[in-house]
Structure 1
Amino acid sequence: MTKEIGIGFLIGIFTALLGSYLFITFFTTFDISSGVQIIRKNGYMGKIITLGTLLDLAVFAILLKRNKEFMARGVILAVIVLAISTLVI
């Protein structure tokens, strides 16, 4: 049970990072390293992380469809942690 929540948490964090990477790659003219620096300098990092978490919605739905409720809880926990982190960043 706790192991599944941890796995879901890691999946949620990885998916959010992947979503942020894809957003920076496809919707900006920056490469990933300079893009992160410029986005952080301009104060948009929280917004990019928030856009990255949109992929977590699909992962959450897939996990629920496969009856992996505890992993889905871990994904929700990751979204909550990322939402709180956007307030700090």
Structure 2
Amino acid sequence: MKKEIFIGMLVGCAANIIGLILAATLLGGGDDFTTVIKSAALEGFLGKLISLGAILNLGAFFIFIKKKQDYRARGVLLITVCIAVFTFVFKLF
């Protein structure tokens, strides 16, 4: 059970990183990834960019639910909640 939740958490992290890279590439206006991340941090919308990256977790969650791998889906959901809390705290400070 713990192994399945951990696998779901890894998939959730990977999906979030891939989503962040895609969001930065698509919304970056032709700049490279590091430039977009640095400018997002300076301009104060890095939290929004991370939240956009978490959209891919939705797909991973529903794939695990459809395959009846509930513990893996729980891991993806746990990572998504952690990302939401992180962006909330990041927005405050």
Identity of aligned residues (%): 35
Structure 2 residue 37 is the aligned partner of structure 1 residue 36:
yes
Match of 2:20 in 1: 20
Which 4+ residue blocks in structure 1 deviate beyond 2 angstroms? Answer: none
Distance 2:25 2:8 in 1: 25
Normalised by the length of structure 1, the TM-score is 0.95
TM-score w.r.t. length of structure 2 = 0.91
Residues 29-56 of structure 1: per-residue CA shift (max 9 Å, x gap)? 1210111100011111110111111111
RMSD of the alignment, in Å? 0.8
Aligned residues: 89
Give distance in 2, aligned partners of 1:46 and 1:10.
20
Q: Which runs of 5+ in 2 are unaligned?
A: none
Q: In structure 1, list runs of 5 or more residues that go unmatched.
A: none
Per the TM alignment, residue 60 of structure 1 is displaced from its structure 2 partner at its CA by 0.6
SS of the equivalent of 2:73 reads helix
> Within 5 A, what are the aligned runs for 1:47-86?
47-86=48-87
